[in-house]
Structure 1
């Protein structure tokens, strides 16, 4: 009887990020360990960081503002890089809001240093190189809606403890997941928490 290979687990502490190499056909599972935690998801093609998952290109590709199971995320070259294959959360994920950065926290009135998803990305991706500009991420478990007048409505992440999203890699890529450190608005319930990233072997 053929044995199933175990998944590789990468814990991501609150406010930090983790990076994993994923081969085409493998699956990446992102878990909101304690719930109510946004996960900024980035993906870069192996060997060429200039080609990466693009939220803007994906919106045009799927003709939707927010992702759902069965849909693909595409790169700046309009190639599928990840497919959303399973979601045990309430399904609220955002493709409108950029990664938080030091300027964002200053604008919110914070004085001094504060971790951010932009800086987390650069730190986690450093072994593979410098991405240059920070791409707009897919914000898993983030509840953003659009009011009738076009205003964005920011809600608390509805992901419960253990809620997970599973994505299948369509290209060899590096996936970076940041446990968003935002604590100056409601998205993480005021207290950022940890994530878990699992790389699951390709199905045969």
Structure 2
């Protein structure tokens, strides 16, 4: 299971629900896949101006990678680092491509009754902190989600997670920020592990010290020719 780091809070992300936390610059959040089967969507916002948000498009440009690895940072819509991946005990399979599920997504999947979804979970989690977001954001960092780029270089394949019970990642705050999470409620498309596609709880811990420290890297620039 998880290594122990100095922490000030432990919270459960209940299956199908969301949770948000406020981090001070230099703190970190550890996201634990308790059952080894759960996708966890993640968003982050500048605590001083929530119109500045963690942006997957800018992140891919900054790192020149489709998905992050330890040492890579997540970048905001204003091209500032907001979170850095400082530890990952999972196989390192995550996703920055797929939009978070929302009510319309489930309508398209054939649901005729309201279905819990990650987009609503984002707003609910932030509302618990007294924060109202100025707009929606479908572009989440999908922790533990297994989306494979196919050999043709353009097609994506959706597969179940490949993590193990107790696998975790640690994200360090590079500014005061809000970080929101959703224990993805998806139970139609086969993304959750163990083959039964059942959403399950995850856990987060707000870390204050003892976690790995990595140097903040600058933006990618082309090598001089």
Structure 2 residues not aligned, in runs of 5+: 212-225
| Compared CA separation, residues 163 and 131, structure 1 to 2 (3 A) | farther
Distance 1:143 1:163 in 2: 14
Question: Are positions 1:136 and 2:139 aligned together?
Answer: yes
CA contact (8 A) 2:88 2:168 kept: yes
1:159 maps to which residue? 163
What is the CA distance between 1:29 and its match in structure 2?
0.3
127-136 or 111-120, which deviates more = 127-136
Question: Are positions 1:168 and 2:172 aligned together?
Answer: yes
2:65 maps to which residue? 64
Runs of 4 or more, structure 1, over 6 Å off, are: none
What is the CA distance between 1:7 and its match in structure 2?
3.3
CA contact (8 A) 2:148 2:157 kept: yes
Q: Secondary structure in 2 aligned to 1:43?
A: strand
Structure 1 residues not aligned, in runs of 5+: none
CA contact (8 A) 1:122 1:131 kept: no
Question: Are positions 1:194 and 2:195 aligned together?
Answer: no
CA contact (8 A) 1:81 1:171 kept: yes
Q: Secondary structure in 1 aligned to 2:188?
A: coil
What is the CA distance between 1:133 and its match in structure 2?
2.0
Distance 2:164 2:210 in 1: 27
| Compared CA separation, residues 87 and 111, structure 1 to 2 (3 A) | same
RMSD between superposed Cα atoms in Å = 1.5
| Compared CA separation, residues 170 and 203, structure 1 to 2 (3 A) | farther
Distance 1:155 1:135 in 2: 20
Q: Secondary structure in 1 aligned to 2:62?
A: helix
Deviations 1:13-39 (A, max 9, x none): 100011111011001100111111101
Q: Secondary structure in 1 aligned to 2:25?
A: coil
CA contact (8 A) 1:25 1:203 kept: no
CA contact (8 A) 2:51 2:133 kept: no
Aligned positions, number: 201
Deviations 1:1-60 (A, max 9, x none): xxx854311111100011111011001100111111101010001021110110111001
